[in-house]
Each structure stands twice: as structure tokens, then as C-alpha cells.
Structure 1
């Protein structure tokens, strides 16, 4: 009974504070300037919903993929592997995967800037 009474009092206090904050907030009707994205105080020159080239998006994705691949390759050069053949096999496998991916992207035409 005591827990139920305490829970009801807490819910009442929370709802009261919530109602007071809604009543005293200075929310006014939104103007065109307040609804526009922030552009250093200047009015919008054009629509923010311009279409962009999907080819540019794919070039960006390729850049991220190669960037991650470089982060995989770099630790191979500074490794503490004692067995030289193990290091050689792992680095060659990584390079072959990278070269196969590059050849595939080249064959599908993903690396061409103009279409």
C-alpha cells in the first residue's frame, strides 16, 4: 500500500511539473525563417532537396572501402610475426583480395568519372 501511494504521488508531481512547463513555455507560431535550415543568417537561395549524382555517392563508398583496406594493410608492415612465411602469406592474401576488388570495380565501370 505504501509503495502504491508513493508511486501515485510521484506520478502526480511529474505530471504537474510537465503541465507547468508546457503552460509557461514561450512557444510561438513558427515562421518561415525559423523553419528554414541554418545558413549563417542568409535566406535560402534554392531548395535543400536537390538530387545528387549516385555515381558520386558510389565513388565516396569506394573511397571508404579502400580507406578501411589500407587500415588492414598497415599493421601487416609493423607486425611481430616471427615466421616470415606466415607474414608473407597473410599479406599476399590481403593484397590479392584488394586487387580482385579493384579489377571488379574497374570491369563494372565504377571507376569512370563520366558516364
Structure 2
């Protein structure tokens, strides 16, 4: 067997696994559709909202401010995830000064982002 045949044989295994995965999901959805009871009633067709019957229109206005808070949370969550590996590398010999400078650069970028959000008035709770 040549090198090219081994190379393509590896991809055929990956392709076979992908086809089997898609087939498994299709069979599961098909079995669910065949086995589930279908008894539509007016109550089942209503929009469910925390156990309360819906009143009025289905659309509600949401302030963009909440998305900005969520975005800021994600930024600082990524920051905390980055701090843990940094703390383990910082203790290793020969990496102290380099990792310290890298961390201050990273925290500087975060501080600039936080300052920008503060200047725009995003952090003012209303």
C-alpha cells in the first residue's frame, strides 16, 4: 500500500464516522416522531411563559443596555480564565518577568475597554 492510499484511508474513516453520526441523529429524531403522541389542543398551542397565560402581543422591547452588560461579563470571564494558566506559568523558573509584562499588557487592554464603557455611560445603572 502506498502513502497516498494510507492518507485517503484515514479520511475515509473520518467520513464514515461523520455519516454514522448523522445517521444516528436522523434515526433518533425519526423514532421520536413515530413514538410520540400527537394530540394538539388549544392550550398546547399557546405560547408558554413561566406558567402565566400570555396577554397582549408576543413581542416585547428589550433595552440594548442588558446586552452590553452581558458582553462586559463575558470579557471579564475570559479575563479570569486567562489568569489561572498565567498564575501557574508565573511560578515556573525563567518565565517570571515575561509573563508579568504580558499580564500587564492584557490588563491594560481590559482597562482601556472598561474606561471606554465608563466614558460612554454604559456602566450607569438606570
Whole-Å separation in 1 of the counterparts to 2:46 and 2:124: 36
1:87 corresponds to: 99
1:113 corresponds to: 125
SS at match of 1:72: helix
State the TM-score, normalized to the length of structure 2.
Answer: 0.56
Flag the 1:46–1:75 CA change in 2: closer, same or farther, 3 A: farther
- Post-superposition offset of 1:68: 1.2
1:33 corresponds to: 43
Q: Structure 1 stretches of 5 or more lacking a match?
A: 1-20
CA displacement 1:44-69 (0-9 Å, x = unmatched): 35554222221112111211121112
Greater shift, 97-106 or 33-42, is seen at: 33-42
SS at match of 2:47: coil
Q: For 1:1-115, what aligned pairs fall within 5 Å after superposition? A: 27=38, 30-38=40-48, 43-45=53-55, 47-79=57-89, 80-83=91-94, 84-114=96-126
SS at match of 1:33: coil
Q: Structure 2 stretches of 5 or more lacking a match?
A: 1-32
State the TM-score, normalized to the length of structure 1.
Answer: 0.61
Whole-Å separation in 1 of the counterparts to 2:49 and 2:72: 30
Higher Cα Rg, which structure? 1
CA RMSD of superposed structures (Å):
2.9
1:10 corresponds to: none
